[in-house]
Chain A
Amino acid sequence: MISPLKPVRVIIADGQFLITESLKAILTDEVSFIVEAVLTGEKRNY
Chain B
Amino acid sequence: MKLYLQGKNEIIKVLTNSEVSVLIIDPSFIDLSSFSEIQEIRDNFPGLKFIVLTNSLSKNELQELNSLGITNIVLKSSDRDEIFEALNASVKGKKYYSCELLEILFEINERINSGEETGQLTPSEMEIVRLISEGLTTKEIASRKFISFHTVITHRKNIFRKLGVSSVSELIMYAIKSGWINLIEYHI
Query: Residue B106 at the A interface, CB < 8 A?
Result: no
Known pairs A8-B21, A37-B1, A38-B3; A13 contacts B29 (CB<8 A)? yes
Q: Which residue of B lies closest to A4 (CB)?
A: B91
Contact A45 B3 (CB under 8 A): yes
Alpha-carbon distance A35/B11, docked complex (angstroms) = 14
Query: Residue B18 at the A interface, CB < 8 A?
Result: yes
Query: Residue B28 at the A interface, CB < 8 A?
Result: yes
Alpha-carbon distance A9/B169, docked complex (angstroms) = 41
Contact A1 B14 (CB under 8 A): no
Q: How many A-B residue contacts, CB cutoff 8 Å? A: 101
**Smallest CB separation, B31 vs chain A (Å):** 9
Alpha-carbon distance A22/B22, docked complex (angstroms) = 17
Q: How many residues of A contact B (CB 8 A)?
A: 29
Task: State which of B2, B26, B87 has its C-beta within 8 Å of the C-beta of A15.
Answer: B26
Task: State which of A4, A10, A23, A43 has its C-beta within 8 Å of the C-beta of B20.
Answer: A10
Query: Residue B24 at the A interface, CB < 8 A?
Result: yes
Query: With a CB–CB cut-off of 8 A, which chain B residues contact A41?
Result: 5-6, 29
Contact with B along A13-44 (1 / 0, CB 8 A): 11110010001001000100101111111111
Stretch at the interface among B76-84, B130-138, B143-151, B176-184: B76-84
Query: Residue A5 at the B interface, CB < 8 A?
Result: no
A4, A12, A43: most-surrounded residue (chain B CB, <10 A): A12
Pairs across A and B, CB under 8 Å, 10 listed: A10-B20, A10-B24, A11-B14, A11-B24, A12-B24, A19-B76, A23-B83, A37-B20, A39-B29, A46-B1
Q: Residues of A with Cβ closer than 8 Å to B?
A: 1-2, 4, 8-16, 19, 23, 26, 30, 33, 35-46
Besides A11-B18, A13-B11, A15-B28, 20 more A-B contacts (Cβ < 8 Å) are: A1-B84, A4-B91, A9-B18, A10-B24, A11-B22, A11-B24, A12-B24, A13-B23, A13-B30, A16-B26, A23-B24, A23-B53, A26-B83, A26-B84, A37-B4, A37-B14, A39-B4, A39-B10, A40-B6, A44-B2
